[in-house]
Amino acid sequence: MYADRDLDRNLAIFDGDNTLWDTNAVFTDAQKDILRGLARAGIPADPELDFSLLRQVDDLLIKHFARHEYDNTYLSLCLIRHFRGESVESLEQVARIVGESSSIAGNLRHRPRH
């Protein structure tokens, strides 16, 4: 933020259309980092070859949650399930995976500790 002390005015500049800062590259790099992390964990993911798959699954998750912001653990989980041979090509398939993982997480939270 810029402050003009002589005129007592503040100025804030927002870049929502990539004119000053390439926000698309930031998101692309972050999503490719997910694929790199899966590859480091032994999942046969390739950041370049599987990027369109990631975007397709991301779009399905956005539709499922009805918002762009969701826990990206679901994205990784869906990709892992894909690389293990499951289909993640439809909204119903992604919703099933999200539901199963939410159910498992809920059961773990309510499990008695010994």
83-102: pLDDT as tens digits: 999 999 999 999 999 999 88
Q: What is the C-alpha to C-alpha distance for residues 36 and 49, in angstroms, rounded to an integer?
A: 12
Q: What is the C-alpha to C-alpha distance for residues 35 and 38, in angstroms, rounded to an integer?
A: 5
Q: Does residue 92 lie in a domain region?
A: yes
> Is there a contact between 80 and 110 (Cβ–Cβ < 8 Å)?
no
Q: Which residue has the higher pLDDT, 9 or 16?
A: 9
- Specify the number of domains making up the chain: 1
List the domain range (segments joined by +) for residue 38.
2-109
Q: Does residue 114 lie in a domain region?
A: no
Output the CA angle 35-31-45, nearest 5 degrees.
15
Q: What is the C-alpha to C-alpha distance for residues 92 and 60, in angstroms, rounded to an integer?
A: 9
Q: Does residue 61 lie in a domain region?
A: yes
> Is there a contact between 54 and 31 (Cβ–Cβ < 8 Å)?
yes
Q: Does residue 76 lie in a domain region?
A: yes
Q: Which residue has the higher pLDDT, 35 or 21?
A: 35
Q: Of 20-24, 75-79, 99-103, which one has max mean pLDDT?
A: 75-79
Q: What is the C-alpha to C-alpha distance for residues 61 and 72, in angstroms, rounded to an integer?
A: 9
> Is there a contact between 54 and 73 (Cβ–Cβ < 8 Å)?
no
Convert the pLDDT of each residue in 30-73 to its tens digit: 999 999 999 999 999 999 999 999 999 999 999 999 999 999 99
pLDDT confidence bin for 22, thresholds 50/70/90:
confident
State the pLDDT at residue 16: 65
Q: Does residue 42 lie in a domain region?
A: yes
pLDDT confidence bin for 24, thresholds 50/70/90:
confident
pLDDT > 90? residue 114: no
Instruction: Report the candidate in 86, 91, 99, 14 with the shortest Cα–Cα distance to residue 60.
Output: 91
